[in-house]
Amino acid sequence: MDLGISGKRALVCASSKGLGLGCAEALAAAGVNLVMNARGAQALEASAQAIRDEFGVDVVTVAADIATAEGQATVLAAAEGVDILVNNAGGPPPGMWSDWDREDFIAALDANMLAPIAMMKALLPGMMDRGWGRVVNITSVSVKSPIPVLGLSNSARAGLTGYVAGTSRQVAGQGVTINNLQPGLHATDRSVSLDSGAAAQQGITLEEAVAQRSATIPVGRYGTPGEFGATCAFLCSQHAGFIVGQNILLDGGATNSLM
**Which residues contribute to the site for ligand NAP (CB under 6 A)?**
14-20, 37-40, 43, 65-67, 88-91, 111, 138, 140-141, 183, 185-186, 188-191
Alpha-helix runs per DSSP H in 79-148: 102-109, 115-130
Identity of the residue, 16 or 168, whose beta carbon is nearer to ligand NAP in the bound complex = 16
Identity of the residue, 45 or 208, whose beta carbon is nearer to ligand NAP in the bound complex = 45
Widest CA span of the chain, in angstroms? 56
| Rg (the chain; Cα; Å) | 18
Interatomic CA distance for residues 43 and 49, integer angstroms? 10
89: nearest Cα among 115, 69, 61, 63: 115
Q: Are 111 and 69 in contact (CB under 8 A)?
A: no
Q: What minimum distance in Å lies between the beta carbon of 237 and ligand NAP?
A: 21
Identity of the residue, 67 or 210, whose beta carbon is nearer to ligand NAP in the bound complex = 67
Identity of the residue, 83 or 251, whose beta carbon is nearer to ligand NAP in the bound complex = 251
Let me know if 129 is exposed, middle or buried by CB neighbors in 10 A (0-12, 13-18, 19+): exposed
Identity of the residue, 52 or 190, whose beta carbon is nearer to ligand NAP in the bound complex = 190
Q: What minimum distance in Å lies between the beta carbon of 225 and ligand NAP?
A: 7
Q: Kindly list the distances between the CA atom of residue 198 and the CA atoms of 118, 210, 254, in Å, as whole numbers in the listed order.
A: 34, 10, 18
Q: Are 134 and 236 in contact (CB under 8 A)?
A: yes
Identity of the residue, 131 or 256, whose beta carbon is nearer to ligand NAP in the bound complex = 256
Q: Kindly list the distances between the CA atom of residue 59 and the CA atoms of 31, 34, 37, 102, in Å, as whole numbers in the listed order.
A: 11, 5, 10, 38
Q: What minimum distance in Å lies between the beta carbon of 251 and ligand NAP?
A: 9
Q: How does DSSP classify residue 203? A: T
Q: What minimum distance in Å lies between the beta carbon of 64 and ligand NAP?
A: 7
Q: What minimum distance in Å lies between the beta carbon of 100 and ligand NAP?
A: 16
Identity of the residue, 89 or 171, whose beta carbon is nearer to ligand NAP in the bound complex = 89
Q: What minimum distance in Å lies between the beta carbon of 238 and ligand NAP?
A: 26
For 3, half-sphere exposure in the C-beta direction (CA atoms, 13 angstrom radius) is: 21
Q: What minimum distance in Å lies between the beta carbon of 29 and ligand NAP?
A: 18
